[in-house]
Amino acid sequence: MKPLLPVEEAIRRVLDGVEPLAAEEVPLAAAVGRVLAEPLHALRTQPPHDVSAMDGYALRAADIASTALPATLRVIGSAPAGHAFAGLVGPGEAVRIFTGAGVPDGADAILLQEDAAVLPDGRIEAREAVRPGQHIRRRGLDFCAGDRVIEPGIRLGMRQLALAAALDHAKVPVRRKPVVAIIATGDELVPPGSGDGGSGIVASNGYGIGALVESLGGLVRDLGIVRDDRAALAAAIDAAMGADVLVTIGGASVGDHDLVRDVLQDRGMTLDFWRIAMRPGKPLLFGRLKATRVLSLPGNPVSSLVCALLFLRPLVEALLGMPFVDPTVGARLGSQVRANDVRQDYIRARLTIDDDGGRVATPLERQDSAMLSAFHRAECLIVRPPHADAEAKGARCRVVILP
Ligand SMILES: Nc1nc2c(c(=O)[nH]1)N[C@H]1C(S)=C(S)[C@@H](COP(=O)(O)OP(=O)(O)OC[C@H]3O[C@@H](n4cnc5c(N)ncnc54)[C@H](O)[C@@H]3O)O[C@H]1N2
Ligand code: MOO
């Protein structure tokens, strides 16, 4: 058999030549979690003019210099937000102003109302000095019409959607949702809730992979459970055509009933790679069938989900026009680890924070790739490169934080 392909090379091949999907316009309220397809420019200037940042009095700072205090000023009008004061503020004059209102001509600072006393005759007495410009937000402080403000490839969350609205966009161009078809294979599989406490294995992986796809902003096309039968498998593969990605689960290894690779190739798939230097996940397969990228994940539940995180996630993100980001962050080992063999290991581990604020990753006792309960308890995967030496507790490591 050929030497196993290194994980980084396998990721590179999965992402090779991926073009972002077409853009579509959606209303802001429907754009949560979608990925911006084009840069978003400001259609207006914010603030549109100089505005007050506080409730108080617009005046000339020179009138209430510290040497002149306490100073008395005549109030010549009022400027609530949305209602500009049309006149000019002259020497010795002030205009009552509220947060967000336009600063009247002639005024160059705002005196907080807490720092002014209203005299019985309606004039005010200033008790604090102000600097010119104090408590004034200048026109265009946030952005100016024409500014390029949000870059494409960004997922739209609460901050971006509020900003897009402020930029005066009612709709935003986002990437079409990638369609991911999922086929579970195996004669032993039964759907969850069948009440079959007997010999069947619940087809669980598809639910985890579907959840990942949806959380990334993709659309799941669930093609159900397919028996270990060439014709049934071929029909399901044909039904998946048109999807951007086809994920098959199980039957990827070397057993007599592991038909998936054979049937995919019968249907015309060009095999890119099969079997990689990774634990769990060795039997991973990648190929192309017409315009569909095919990822065949191993059946073992943890292998399936770890492969989905490491390969399907960046593939869906690339289809959405997002850049590849290294999924690992730094941590320290919470206990010693053995020297590694030829396969890059992804060790299920707990993640805690030490007194200095650093991450500590402590391997779980059970690393069986069939154990979903242990995977559920894990919070991260410690990445052990091929042939890494044994390491002591406290050594630096890289971890993938689990979603
Ligand atoms: N002689 C060898 N045997 C195996 C090798 C090998 O290199 N040589 N590789 C092992 C590794 S590593 C893995 S991982 C598994 C995965 O192989 P398959 O992809 O062929 O998976 P299956 O045999 O179909 O199933 C394995 C296991 O997972 C269960 N399964 C399958 N589909 C699902 C699903 N949708 N949800 C939940 N569980 C599922 C299945 O019932 C089996 O128990 O092969 C090793 N063998
Ligand atoms: O790679 Mo298998 O995924 O070790 O269990």
CATH 2.170.190.11 in the chain, residues? 51-137
> For 218-244, what is the mean pLDDT?
97
Considering only residues 89 and 83, tell me which one the structure prediction assigns the higher pLDDT: 89
The string of pLDDT tens digits covering residues 293-328 is 999 999 999 999 999 999 999 999 999 999 999 999
Could you tell me if residue 320 is left (phi over 0), alpha (psi between -120 and 50 degrees) or otherwise beta? alpha
- Quickly state the pLDDT bin for 359 (edges 50, 70, 90): very high
Interface confidence (ipTM) of the complex: 0.96
- Alpha-carbon distance of 338 to 363, in angstroms, equals 11
Whether CATH 1.50.10.10 fits 328-401: no
Our CA angle for 32, 36, 38, nearest 5°, is 150
Query: 23-46+142-175 falls under which CATH superfamily?
Result: Molybdopterin biosynthesis moea protein, domain 2 (3.90.105.10)
Residue 304 Cβ contacting ligand 2 at under 6 Å: no
CATH 3.40.980.10 in the chain, residues? 7-21+176-319
Query: 7-21+176-319 falls under which CATH superfamily?
Result: MoaB/Mog-like domain (3.40.980.10)
Which atom of ligand 1 has the smallest separation from the CA of 201? 41
Pick from 216, 218, 260: nearest CA to 237:
260
- From ligand 2's centre to the CA of 21, what distance in Å? 32
CATH 2.40.340.10 in the chain, residues? 328-401
- Model pTM score: 0.93
Q: Regarding the domain delimited by 51-137, which CATH topology (the fold level of the hierarchy) does it fall under?
A: Molybdopterin biosynthesis moeA protein; domain 3 (2.170.190)
The string of pLDDT tens digits covering residues 191-205 is 999 887 777 999 999
- From ligand 1's centre to the CA of 255, what distance in Å? 9
Cβ atoms of 327 and 400 within 8 Å: the answer is yes
In DSSP terms, which residues pair with 249 in a beta bridge?
184, 297
The string of pLDDT tens digits covering residues 372-392 is 999 999 999 999 999 999 999
Pocket test for ligand 2, best of 249, 285, 303, 368 (most atoms within 8 A of CB): 303
CATH 3.90.105.10 in the chain, residues? 23-46+142-175
Distance of CA 240 to the CA centre of its chain: 27
Which atom of ligand 1 has the smallest separation from the CA of 204? 36
